[in-house]
């Protein structure tokens, strides 16, 4: 029942595209985990335990078609107004934002060349601002009270934004059941591309 409500809210074209993506993903799982009973769970375990770095990807030609639909969100790309190093952290200021982001270097940077090259690389690093929510996210939000996996995912996404693949896989693995695998797979593939 909740699958039908979700697909109705998602829309016919977006449901067709999402089901096509999941079909390709299932083929990937069947090829890479042929001896596993729960192929998706085995894949999540491998990601959560950092056993793989190269994640499944949507075919780039198909992705062009999917991006033309409302399945994914629409983003604006902005670049920093200014980037500077205050002796401890790198600071990044974006246009029309009062907040200054800070990046703490992992190692002490003593050489001016390293500071300059880091500032130059941060200057060209874009930030993506959500202009329009995806139909996937809106449909998922509309049915969120139906499953603890969906509720927890949406709460985590709201609290921290994009989740790392390892954290996402670990959370999905923890809440995964036979009855919510439909949504878990869709959350996984969509979250990997809503970055």
Please check whether residues 79 and 102 belong to one and the same domain.
yes
Please check whether residues 69 and 137 belong to one and the same domain.
yes
User: Which pLDDT tens digit goes with each residue over 108-134?
Assistant: 545 445 888 888 888 888 777 777 788
At CB < 8 A and 24+ separation, what contacts does 138-143 make? 138/9, 139/6, 139/7, 139/9, 139/10, 140/6, 140/183, 140/187, 142/5, 142/6, 142/9, 143/2, 143/5, 143/6, 143/9
- Mean pLDDT over 13-42 rounds to 95
Please check whether residues 175 and 145 belong to one and the same domain.
yes
Q: Give the total number of structural domains in the chain.
A: 2
Q: Are 135 and 186 in contact (CB under 8 A)?
A: no
* Domain-terminating residue out of 98, 115, 130: 130
Please check whether residues 86 and 137 belong to one and the same domain.
no
Distance of CA 153 to the CA centre of its chain: 11
User: Which pLDDT tens digit goes with each residue over 144-194?
Assistant: 777 889 999 999 988 877 788 899 999 999 999 999 999 999 999 998 876
Considering only residues 117 and 27, tell me which one the structure prediction assigns the higher pLDDT: 27
Please check whether residues 57 and 30 belong to one and the same domain.
yes
- Mean pLDDT over 9-27 rounds to 96
| Domain hosting residue 143, numbered range | 2-73+133-193
Please check whether residues 153 and 90 belong to one and the same domain.
no
State the pTM of this model. 0.76
Please check whether residues 145 and 157 belong to one and the same domain.
yes
């Amino acid at each position: 029942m909740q699958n039908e409500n979700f697909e109705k809210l998602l829309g016919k074209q977006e449901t067709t595209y999402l089901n096509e993506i999941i079909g390709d993903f299932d083929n990937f799982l069947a090829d890479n985990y042929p001896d596993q009973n729960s192929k998706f769970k085995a894949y999540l375990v491998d990601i959560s335990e950092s056993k793989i770095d190269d994640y499944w990807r949507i075919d780039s030609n198909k992705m062009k078609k999917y991006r033309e639909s409302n399945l994914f969100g629409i983003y604006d790309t902005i670049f920093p107004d200014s980037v500077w190093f205050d002796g401890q952290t790198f600071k990044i200021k974006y246009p029309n934002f009062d907040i200054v982001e800070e990046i703490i270097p992992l190692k002490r940077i003593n050489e001016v060349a390293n500071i300059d090259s880091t500032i130059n690389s941060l200057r060209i690093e874009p930030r993506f601002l959500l202009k329009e929510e995806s139909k996937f996210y809106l449909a998922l939000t509309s049915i969120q009270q139906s499953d603890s996996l969906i509720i927890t995912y949406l709460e985590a996404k709201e609290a921290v934004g994009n989740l790392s693949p390892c954290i996402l896989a670990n959370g999905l693995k923890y809440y995964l059941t036979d009855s919510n695998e439909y949504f878990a797979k869709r959350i996984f593939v969509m979250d990997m591309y809503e970055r």
